[in-house]
Structure 1
Amino acid sequence: MEPVTLVLYIVIAAVLILVVTAVVKSITVVRQAEAAVIERLGRYQRTASPGLTFLVPFIDRIRERVALWEQVVSFPPQPVITQDNLTVSIDTVVYYQVTEPRNAVYEINDYINGVQQLTTTTLRDVVGGMSLEQALTSREMINTGLRRALDDATGPWGLRVVRVELKAIDPPPSIQDSMERQMKADREKRAMILTAEGHREAAIAEAQGNKQAAILSAEGAKQAAILAAEAERQSTMLRAQGERAAQYYQAQGEAKAIEKTFAAIKAGRPTPEMLAYQYLQTLPQMAQGEANKLWVVPSDFGKALEGFTRMLGAPGEDGVFRYQPTPDDGAGVSRPGATDDDVADWFDTSTDPEIAKVVAAAEQRADAAVAEPGANGSGRHAGGEGGVPTDTV
């Protein structure tokens, strides 16, 4: 091969390589959520959006690709002195997003380092005005203060601080031990207070229960006494009425017995001998009393018996006095063994309806008082004042 031809081939190869290199350098692709800062001859030319981007070969170049999504940066613990001169270690997490890629590239050398340093200084400024207790209980306020300060400071850098979170606030070990003892003491104090309140509530409830029980017991005793008194009154009245009726009926029975006896005597027409015999049969009964030590038969006994016979009888043909019946006036005399009409109801054993009605009413009132003691709130029954019924037998 001739030298001229060889040189020509070399030149053509160099031109092809140059063309290929130029084509490759003139076409680039920007990914989604990224931005490419393009410079032309060392000066800012434009910011390329995601997609296919054309560059002027050997003139334009991509200075930096900037991520546009929200980013998270966790900074190492920073020592911060509180208002009460205690050193605490605080871990922070910053959420930020690049809104202006040009400013993020040209306004600050390293915006991540700048955010870290700015966070440290702002955190010391915010927490330095608080006590340890305030710093531990005011995380939201610290987060809000940091976010505002960082957002204002990083605005010219083309950044937007979304939020700032405190991961941990670690006081010194001695302070942690003191806080643990304090919390333990507070818990024990609250436990003792709750226990005392529980005992107090239990004592109050028990006292109230005893009070209610005493009131109900007294009310029950009152009702029982009232019912017992009413029952005693009713039973006494019924017993007195029964005794009165019994005495009355006994007197009527004795009167009717005497009447029947005399009627039987008249109907039997006794002779003096029979009367004397009956009298002699009665004498031992008269002497059976414990106070009778000696009993003397009167000397005029025969004469008294004779006079009694003369009153009841008339002399017969043999001279003996015999019973002379009273002439029949047409009024009609009952037989000695027959039951008269005026005493027919004496042998009726059925319960008096009025008494049965009164007993049923008393039982109903007693059952109502036992079932609902103090139902009307005043301890009185429907029968009258003080729980004593007003009806009587």
Structure 2
Amino acid sequence: MTGAVLLVLFALIFLFVVVLLAKTVRIIPQARAGIVERFGKYKETLPAGLNVVVPFVDRVRYLIDLREQVVSFPPQPVITEDNLVVSIDTVIYFQVTDPIAATYEIANYIQAIEQLTMTTLRNIVGGMDLEETLTSRDQINSGLRGVLDEATGKWGIRVNRVELKGIDPPPSIKDSMEKQMRADREKRAVILTAEGQRQAAILTAEGSKQASILNAEGDRESQILRAQADRESQILRAQGEGQAIQTVFQAIHDGRPDQSLLAYQYLQMMPKIAEGDANKVWVIPSEITKALEGLGSSIHEVAGIPKQVDGPRTRVDMGPTEPALPADRELSDTHASVQEAIAAAESAANPGRASREERLDEALGDASAGGADGPPQEPPAQ
């Protein structure tokens, strides 16, 4: 019986010691502060770590978190200056700097911060219209932080940052804003399209202007070149005709023409007489020799043309036979090629004319053979 009593007594003593140690030793976590009261009155603030208090006399009443805390408040309706109700939810970043003031200066500092945030937000947003409210987040954040930091300073709390999570206008205002944004984008698109068309028209006009200028310059240069080519061709043609006349005139002086030469020239003109469109048939008489004799006898009375000549006289010096312009071998070759091509084309187009010319050449050959019985001609002097 005595042993059982002793055992119970030891158990009670052990339990008392454990409770005494529990009331005496206090462990405060890191970044925490313990507020100790003795008989209901503030005594001290326990730092982080192992602390000893008077059991059953001192009591750790509050454990204050010294870390920066984040509190998100639910959306609050706020009326703007243009009488539109918007819903704004905020986030507050704060930190307890004075555990004693946060414990004894205010009962619930989180609720106090929430109410102060709501009233300050309504005061700031009430002086802005909807457009300014949506675009002035930084201004609203700065205003809220300044007011909250000043009001919570005596509570031992420092407000580090205030953020607006969202500003939600009414659905009708959202629809109007979307329409306005769509209209603004369409307006910018139309303006950009018009500017693009204007730039395109300007570039097109400038291109047309440059093209017209270049075409005009090209036409002017081509006309100048054609005029110069016509002038040079006319000069060359006139010089060629002059050279031909000089050659013919020299040949006449060298050959001392008589009635036979005149008859020969007449026979050479006969194919040209037959070239007319109305001359479908041209007959050469078989008695061509008698006709030539009669032609020669009828022409001998022409003044200035003797019937017979004694011989060639001294050549007449006609000066240089070269044209004034420098001779161009390539131009002469090209002209000869063109003349040959034209003659070939005319022969192919008028085969009857070619046959007539061949018959005329044969007749002229017979006439020359018949006139060979006349007096012989002396060769021209060299």
TM category (shorter chain) comes to 0.5 to 0.7
Q: How far did 1:218 drift? A: 1.1
Percentage identity across paired residues of the two chains: 50
Residues 96/253 of structure 1: CA separation in 2 closer, same or farther (3 Å cut): farther
Select which of 181, 184, 187 maps to 1:183: 181
Match of 1:46? 44
Question: Separation in 2 of the partners of 1:17 and 1:221?
Answer: 124
Output the amino acid matched with 1:297.
Answer: S
Q: How far did 1:88 drift? A: 1.4
Q: How far did 1:127 drift? A: 0.7
Question: Separation in 1 of the partners of 2:25 and 2:248?
Answer: 146
| SS of alignment partner, residue 45 of structure 2 | strand
Output the amino acid matched with 2:186.
Answer: E
After TM superposition, the structure 1 = structure 2 runs for residues 53-68 of structure 1, keeping only pairs within 5 Å, are: 53-68=51-66
Residues 110/247 of structure 1: CA separation in 2 closer, same or farther (3 Å cut): same
Residues 59/287 of structure 1: CA separation in 2 closer, same or farther (3 Å cut): closer
**Pair 1:94-2:73 in alignment:** no
Output the amino acid matched with 1:142.
Answer: I
Post-superposition Cα deviations, 1:102-138, rounded to whole Å, max 9, x if no partner, equal 2111111111111111100111111111112211121
Match of 1:23? 21
Q: How far did 1:99 drift? A: 1.6
| SS of alignment partner, residue 156 of structure 1 | helix
Q: What is the RMSD of the two structures over their aligned residues, measured on CA atoms?
A: 4.0
Residues 48/219 of structure 1: CA separation in 2 closer, same or farther (3 Å cut): farther
Question: Separation in 2 of the partners of 1:246 and 1:55?
Answer: 148
Residues 287/70 of structure 1: CA separation in 2 closer, same or farther (3 Å cut): closer
Post-superposition Cα deviations, 1:334-372, rounded to whole Å, max 9, x if no partner, equal xxxxxxxx9xx99x9xxx99545999xxxxxxxxxxxxx
Match of 2:192? 194
After TM superposition, the structure 1 = structure 2 runs for residues 111-130 of structure 1, keeping only pairs within 5 Å, are: 111-130=109-128
TM-score (norm 2): 0.66
Match of 1:231? 229
Residues 243/29 of structure 1: CA separation in 2 closer, same or farther (3 Å cut): farther
Output the amino acid matched with 1:212.
Answer: Q
After TM superposition, the structure 1 = structure 2 runs for residues 90-169 of structure 1, keeping only pairs within 5 Å, are: 90-169=88-167
Q: State whether residues 100 and 158 of structure 1, in contact with CA within 8 Å, keep that contact through their aligned partners in structure 2.
A: yes
Q: Gaps spanning 5+ residues in structure 1: where?
A: 263-278, 302-306, 313-341, 360-393
Q: State whether residues 263 and 296 of structure 2, in contact with CA within 8 Å, keep that contact through their aligned partners in structure 1.
A: no
TM-score (norm 1): 0.65
Output the amino acid matched with 1:102.
Answer: I
Residues 7/247 of structure 1: CA separation in 2 closer, same or farther (3 Å cut): same
Comparing 113-122 and 132-141, the one that deviates more: 132-141
Question: Separation in 2 of the partners of 1:132 and 1:142?
Answer: 13
The count of corresponding residues between Structure 1 and Structure 2 is 301
Residues 67/240 of structure 1: CA separation in 2 closer, same or farther (3 Å cut): farther
| SS of alignment partner, residue 211 of structure 2 | helix
Post-superposition Cα deviations, 1:23-77, rounded to whole Å, max 9, x if no partner, equal 2332233222222222233222222332222323222322222222222111111
